[in-house]
Amino acid sequence: MTRTICVFLFALMPVIAVADLEIFACEPEWAALAKEIGGSHVNTFSATTALQDPHYIQARPSLIAKVRRANLLICSGAQLEIGWLPALLQKANNRKVLPGSNGYMEASAYVVRVDATGNVDRAQGDIHPEGNPHIQTDPHNIAAVAKPLAERLMSLDPENAAAYAAGLEDFLGRWHDAIETWEAQARILRGARGITHHKSWVYLERWLGIEEAANLEAIPGLPPTATHLSRLTKQFEQGGADFIIRSPYQDARPSEWLSERTGIPAIVLPLTVGGTERAQDLFSLYDDIVDRLLTASKHE
């Protein structure tokens, strides 16, 4: 009997020894980044998929159950998740991941946010006073978040600190090489003009030197209206833009409609990991974004 118990305990040992960190990411890019750095020491879960508008999801029971067991919560922040994350935190009874604790991390706190404005009015639409939260469309931002994320992992799981440090170094090495490649490939995009569905791409545009010609949404966050679209048709009838960009979760009709009438190609860009078949991790995400932009700009 004693022997059986001993065998049983030994069988359990590895399970006890591996103190995996449970990471709850609000968006897939942060889950992917945590996996790049943490490797087998972390279990990652993403609350949203690339096919969902991260502004608007339901505070589902399954997500509350995940937050309940998380050691670290990483979200874009800057009010992107204001419509659902507070409801998850309120119900999840997990003090380790409440704002202010070590287990709560807002990625946008570690980058330079654009369009931050102190003076907001809801008549301007669904704008984010703390700046545009779609920071993941610039790979330099991913690099800027990687280091503090690794630091969090180290402080939450000091036993594996060396592994996280190595993971960070390895990732940043490969990442900076990849950035150089993307920047070289995308050099010809500099000065191109893009129409975007929502202001989801301002960081990408700043990174690659693309000019934002217009948005399909007349007011941020509100669906594109017929009047605004016909105004855009007039404005871009003679050209004046190189592509119309939308994310996979956005309604295809407005951009296709405008594309038909102006001849400007409408393209889908993966806003995050999983947005297209090819974008399966952070590297292939940017490979795909850059390729899709290059293809669209050659189309002319």
- Smallest distance from the beta carbon of 126 to another protein, in angstroms? 7
Select the residue interacting with another protein from 85, 153, 192, 195 (CB under 8 A). 85
Q: How far is CA 71 from CA 37, 52, 173, in A?
A: 16, 24, 27
Q: Select the span of 146-154, 161-169, 238-246, 280-288 touching another protein (CB under 8 A).
A: 146-154
| Between 151 and 212, CB nearer to another protein | 151
- Smallest distance from the beta carbon of 212 to another protein, in angstroms? 15
Q: Are 189 and 136 contacting, i.e. CB atoms less than 8 angstroms apart?
A: no
Q: Select the span of 11-19, 31-39, 60-68, 166-174 touching another protein (CB under 8 A).
A: 60-68
Select the residue interacting with another protein from 110, 166, 287, 294 (CB under 8 A). 110
Angle, helices 161-185 vs 28-38, to 10°: value is 120
Q: How far is CA 157 from CA 138, 204, 253, in A?
A: 29, 33, 47
Q: Select the span of 3-11, 118-126, 233-241, 256-264 touching another protein (CB under 8 A).
A: 118-126
Q: Select the span of 3-11, 28-36, 57-65, 259-267 touching another protein (CB under 8 A).
A: 57-65
Q: Select the span of 36-44, 92-100, 161-169, 290-298 touching another protein (CB under 8 A).
A: 92-100
Per CB under 8 A, 106 contacts another protein: yes
Binding mask 228-257 for another protein (x = CB under 8 A): ---------------------x-x------
For residue 19 the two structure tokens come to: 């103190």
For residue 158 the two structure tokens come to: 């000091």
Q: Give the whole-angstrom CA distance, residue 53 versus residue 48.
A: 8
Q: How far is CA 149 from CA 63, 82, 105, 154, 172, in A?
A: 21, 21, 8, 9, 12
Per CB under 8 A, 101 contacts another protein: yes
Select the residue interacting with another protein from 6, 176, 188, 190 (CB under 8 A). 190
| Between 160 and 247, CB nearer to another protein | 247
Q: How far is CA 179 from CA 24, 138, 186, 190, in A?
A: 27, 10, 10, 15
Total residues contacting another protein by CB under 8 A comes to 68
Q: What is the C-alpha end-to-end distance of the chain, expressed in Å?
A: 78
- 121-140 residues in contact with another protein (CB under 8 A) are 122, 125-126, 129-131, 140
- Smallest distance from the beta carbon of 36 to another protein, in angstroms? 18
Per CB under 8 A, 82 contacts another protein: yes
Residues making contact with another protein (CB under 8 A)? 48-49, 51-53, 55-62, 64-66, 68-69, 77, 82-87, 90-95, 98-102, 104-106, 109-112, 116, 118, 122, 125-126, 129-131, 140-141, 144, 147-148, 151-152, 190-191, 206-207, 209, 221-223, 249, 251
